[in-house]
Structure 1
Amino acid sequence: MWRREKIWNEAGPAERRLAGLALNPAAPVGLLLRLLADGPPAARMALCGDRDLPVPVVDALLTHPDRWARAVFASSPHADPAQRARLVDDPDYVVKGHLAGGPPNRWTVRRPRLPDLTVVHIINTYDGEMVQGIECQISAGLRRDMPTHPDRKVRLWGVGSWRSLSAELRAALLADPDPEVREYAEQQARHEDPQWVQRELPERSCHARTGMLLHDALSRAVIDSVLTAPVGKGDRAMIAGNPSLPPDVVVLLAGDPDPEVRERIAHRPDLGAAELRALAVDPDPKVRLTLSTHPALAESERAGIDYEVPEGGYFGPTYQPSPPRDPAALRRDALSTHPLLRRRAAGDQLLPPDLLDLLAADPDLGVRVTLAQNHPDAPAELLLRGFLEYAGDDRAELLTRPQFPTVGLAAYAEHEDPALRALAARDPGLAPALADRLTRDSDPEVRRTLARHPNLPAARIVELLEDAELAAHAAANPALDPSLMEELVNALAHAAS
């Protein structure tokens, strides 16, 4: 949030110390209330956005005059969604916008869902653009019930999932007693009418044309025009994955000279045996790799394809399918010899315990790390192994898992990788002298994390309170003497007077 960054950049050393104190897990409720009421903006921002808050502090926050403090709490990833929901009727639009928008993007996958009643209230009372932000905060149960919900505005949201709805639900929405719901359903149904699509398809490359070529029902005339006189370079690749493509065109595009088109075709579930055989020996390695994961192939056929899984890639939190995957298909993928299929299975949070144990020992790094990032019961040793072996940008996500281990991490205090040296800060048995030494490490992140370690000698904590770089982190140390906590806050009061 730009405003928080501006406040922090403008804060002086004393204000930053108080911001650190606001994050101190040992700070008493009374002190937190004082920081909320009289603390500088930097302390309020940290208090409201970077930690969980005791209920009395939340109670006081709800009527705090600083709308930005309320707004930061409304979108805090550390706050209980039920507590954030208490701001649903806040008088300020900024606060409402933050509540609807929810936690920042990096928290999207594991973003805690708002209570269903709160979501329904937001849908009914917030402005159009503002209400769109709740999309990632809707529970799976409410999302499933939206097309049949008694509230008409919620049913309107349900229509937005048109492509995934059953024929029965579509028919019910087309006959809905509310005219606005019926009209929206009719607008969605038009995309299944090839003649309507043919009339409305833009004649120039644009976002609307792309969406229609990818997803809408295409007439033969539209398909032929793309094949013979495409408007844009990517038109043929776009229609290659369209579900309405007739079999003869699938056959034609399976032999297209453009490897991107063939790769798109290789994803299709309706490939014939001849196309499967041809694409399995395609000269392009990306096409062969895509085809090698096709659900119609037997494991022996898969093994006969000359494919190579690239090293590296994104092995972070993944979106969960709704409705959940078929358990038999999930098991088939988990037991496959193909690493990409096992990675797909490893990203499913509903993977049963026996498959969790199996994939936790998988030889493929991508399988292990994807499992560690996504499964709620990923074992501690798997999380640590993933952090040790994986160097992707989302590596730090593993540290957010509550079962990430702590005991024994001091063993990495001498490691050449500063990210591993910083793990020592999580070890409750870290020797005080080693904690002290690591606050002088060459890496700033190691210094910052160790300044918060409760085993840090008291004298070093006091010393760091005067360190421009580490003062805020020392103030967040739970071993900080309570009398010093009071002194820091009292100094603020004296400065104000």
Structure 2
Amino acid sequence: MSHRPRTAEAIWQAADLPARRLAGVALNPTAGTDVLLGLLACDSAAVRMTLCRDRDLPEEVVNAVLTHPDHRTRSFFAANPHIDPAQRARLVDDAHWLVRARLAQGPGFSHGRSELPEHTVVRILTTYDREHLDTLYRQVPRSARWTFPSHPEPKVRAFACDWWSELTPRERSALLADPDEEVREHALRNGRDLDPEYVERVLPDRACHARTHLLMHGALSRRVVEQVLAAPVGREDLAMIAGNPSLPLDVLALLARDPDPQVRETVAGRPELTAEQRRALATDTDSAVRTRISVHPALTEEERAAIDYRVSSDETFGRFDIPARMYDPARSRHYALSGHPLLRRRAAHDPGLPPDLVARLSCDADPGVRVLLAQNHPQAPAELLLDSFLAYTGRERWSLTTRPNFPTEDLAGYAGAADPMVRRLALLSPQTPPGTVAQLSADPDPDVRADAARHPRLSPRRLVELLDDEELAHEAAANPALPPPVLDRLVAALDG
């Protein structure tokens, strides 16, 4: 039986200083193909991991990686987010389970270059063990949505059942009557939540994930609803059924008057509410309920404005990575022109907003609107991006600097800021003076030091000093300003 693979963190922690230097060389853009091939052949797992996982590679090196005798090295490449997914797909029939597992797992949610070719996904579905398929959906191209439900391979049709809510009624019926037993079982398993008798039969009588799922998303029989009303397992049971689309309207009216504000807040999001119910919730004693009803689609702008809602800016405003085709342009325009900041925030999610609305929301009075626009629109203006970064201190703040128009000119003045993340701005600018970069290479903050060690205007002398620094040797060796003779000496260690 195969041993459990070492984690990437463990591999890096075990690397000595010479190996960390060579790992930096693996990322240095001045390193040629011959150097990269030499690094691929070295003994250090940390060097090969960095080379194969953390950068794009020339074709000759890719070919060498794919035929490398060490399966761990191939596995690093299998989840490389910087490489064309079609290159990773060449490992689909690799002899080692770890390589195949890493390919199926993919780079993760935070990387855009993750969709494998459709034929590769089919190959994985038809030849891999199911234990390796849990996160494959992240890498399935959107085109598969239209072809997989009727694909000639039963395992592919079975996989299509996992996005049951997106299937058409005709597709669902076909899968439920599929000639293959496995497909029928998957279809039944995914569709049974829509059967009230099944939900009633299997609903757990204790608080658990399965009960939560069924109360929120399953088809609820009248008997189940009455049981929850009469004897809820927990008070949250009522809030769960309050959002369920199958809830009878008379029960919805009852829950709209429930003493629990969490229940009323959930009810306030229901599209079926009558005008009378909306008016009652608009004057609710709880601000969260009033805020939820204030964005109800049936309200006019005048009715929204009359509600005493509360909008917080103390939350995370991040990337959504939802394609523009998934948004309705007319709805986004309607939201962008609304007087309600929460609706304008919804519009700001849309990466396909036209220039006039981008310009309008760039000057919005609500900081959430501005930051969401900066995070999600590819044409967010430079001034908005910088202003949003300086004003916003939430969890996804640094990702603003990766947006296409983020400015990199005239940022050296931020080197003296009290906030270390603002000091890092100075190191995004190629014009920052060498003395400032050198000063920041000794900054108290580790991220600032690392950015400085990578900066192309860091002096050669300081770069050479950092090659002996356990923490920064890796960053310094990756710096394209590293003098060629020094780089040659580091590479010469491969032959030592």
> Does the CA contact (< 8 Å) of 2:85 and 2:113 recur in 1?
no
C-alpha separation in 1, matches of 2:426 and 2:197: 65
Matches of 2:180 and 2:314, distance apart in 1: 51
Distance 1:181 1:321 in 2: 30
Instruction: Select between 411-420 and 284-293 the one with higher mean Cα deviation.
Output: 411-420
CA distance in 2: counterparts of 1:39 and 1:451, whole angstroms: 26
Q: Which residue of 1 aligns with 2:60?
A: 56
Matched, 1:34 2:45: no
Question: Which of 146, 152, 155 is 1:153 aligned to?
Answer: 155
Q: Which residue does 1:396 correspond to in 2?
A: 398
Q: Which residue does the alignment assign to 1:218?
A: 220
Unaligned runs of 5+ in 2: none
Q: CA deviation at 1:321?
A: 7.6
- Aligned counterparts of 1:118 and 1:425: Cα–Cα separation in 2: 41
Instruction: Give the conservation status (yes or no) of the 8 Å contact 2:82–2:113.
Output: no
> Are the structure 2 counterparts of residues 275 and 205 from structure 1 closer, same or farther at C-alpha, using a change threshold of 3 Å?
same
Report whether the alignment pairs 1:339 with 2:308: no
Aligned to 2:362: 360
Instruction: Name the residue aligned to 1:450.
Output: 452
Match of 2:257 among 243, 255, 258: 255
Matched, 1:297 2:299: yes
CA shift at 1:205, angstroms?
2.4
Contact map agreement 2:19 2:46 (CA 8 A) in 1: yes
Query: RMSD of aligned C-alpha atoms?
Result: 2.1
Query: For residue 201 of structure 1, what is the aligned residue in structure 2?
Result: 203
Following superposition, the deviation at residue 271 of structure 1 comes to: 0.9
Structure 1 residue identity aligned to 2:262: E
1:2 Cα deviation (Å)?
6.1
Contact 1:349 1:375 (8 Å CA) reproduced: yes
2:180 maps to 178
Correspondence list, 1:401-420, <5 A? 401-420=403-422
Deviation string, structure 1 residues 459-488 (Cα, Å, up to 9, x no partner): 222222223332221111101122221211
Q: Deviations over 1:233-286 (max 9, x none)?
A: 321111101111111101000000111111111111111111111111111111
Indicate conservation of the 8 Å contact 2:89/2:117, yes or no. yes
Q: Please tell me whether residue 97 in structure 1 is matched to residue 107 in structure 2.
A: no
* Contact 1:18–1:39 (8 Å) recurs in 2: no
For 2:312, the aligned partner's letter is P
Secondary structure of the 1:27 match is: coil
Distance in 2 between residues matched to 1:300 and 1:149, nearest whole Å: 51
Distance, in Å, in 1 between the alignment partners of 2:123 and 2:108 is 22
One-letter code of the match for 1:306?
Answer: D
Structure 1 residue 322: Cα displacement:
9.9
TM normalised by structure 2 equals 0.94
Q: How many pairs align?
A: 492
Q: 1:180 to 1:275 in 2, by over 3 A?
A: same
The structure-2 alpha-carbon separation of the partners of 1:134 and 1:60, relative to structure 1 and needing over 3 Å to count, comes to same
Deviations 1:36-77 (A, max 9, x none): 111522211211222212221111111222322222221122
Q: Are residues 319 and 242 of structure 1, via their aligned partners in 2, closer, same or farther at CA, if it must alter by over 3 Å?
A: farther
Change (3 A) 1:113 1:352: farther
- Bigger drift between 214-223 and 177-186 goes to 177-186
- Contact map agreement 1:418 1:446 (CA 8 A) in 2: yes
CA contact (8 A) 1:279 1:287 kept: yes
Residues 150 and 450 (structure 1), Cα distance of their counterparts in 2 relative to 1, 3 Å cut: same
Deviations, residues 108-137 of structure 1 (Å, cap 9, x unaligned): 6x4532222211211111111211221111
Aligned residue in 1 for 2:76: 72
In the aligned structure 1, how far is the partner of 2:388 from the partner of 2:147?
A: 37
**In structure 1, what is the Cα distance between the partners aligned to 2:470 and 2:406?**
31
The 1:270/1:85 distance shift into structure 2, 3 A limit, reads same
The separation in 1 between residues aligned to 2:449 and 2:481, in whole angstroms, is 17
| Residues 243/319 of structure 1: CA separation in 2 closer, same or farther (3 Å cut) | farther
Paired AA for residue 86 in structure 1: R
Alignment partners' CA distance in 2, 1:276 and 1:432: 62
Matched to 1:87, the amino acid is L
Aligned to 2:139: 137
Choose from 14, 35, 54 the match for 1:10: 14
Q: 1:321 to 1:457 in 2, by over 3 A?
A: closer
* TM-aligned CA deviation for residue 421 of structure 1: 1.6
Per-residue CA distance 1:294-323 (angstroms, 9 max, x = gap): 111111111111011112211111252897
2:421 is paired with a residue whose SS is: helix
Give the letter aligned to residue 328 of structure 1.
Answer: A
Q: TM-score, normalised by structure 1?
A: 0.93
Structure 1 residues 106-117: aligned runs within 5 Å: 107=110, 110=112, 112-117=114-119
* Matching residue's letter, 2:225: I
- The alpha-carbon deviation at position 402 of structure 1 amounts to 4.1
Against the structure 1 CA distance between its residues 11 and 127, is the aligned structure 2 distance closer, same or farther, given a 3 Å change threshold? same
**Residue 429 of structure 1, aligned match among 428, 431, 435:** 431
Q: Give the whole-Å Cα distance in 1 for the aligned partners of 2:493 and 2:189.
A: 63
8 Å Cα contact 2:414-2:423 kept in structure 1: yes
> Shift of the alpha carbon at 1:408?
1.8
How far the C-alpha of 1:369 sits from its partner, in A, is: 1.6
SS of the residue aligned with 2:297?
coil
Tell me, yes or no, if the aligned pair for 1:97 and 1:130 is still in contact at 8 Å. Answer: yes
Task: Output the amino acid matched with 1:20.
Answer: G
Structure 2: distance between partners of 1:245 and 1:445: 51
Instruction: Give the one of 9, 13, 22 matched to 2:26.
Output: 22
**Contact 2:324-2:352 at 8 Å conserved across structures:** no
* AA of the residue aligned to 2:46: A
Q: Which residue of 2 aligns with 1:118?
A: 120
Q: Which residue in the other structure is 1:480 paired with?
A: 482
Matched, 1:81 2:85: yes
Equivalent position SS for 1:160 = helix
Contact 1:31–1:486 (Cα < 8 Å) also in 2: no
Deviates more, 1:256-265 or 1:343-352: 343-352
> For the residues of structure 2 that align with 1:80 and 1:251, how far apart are their CA atoms?
53
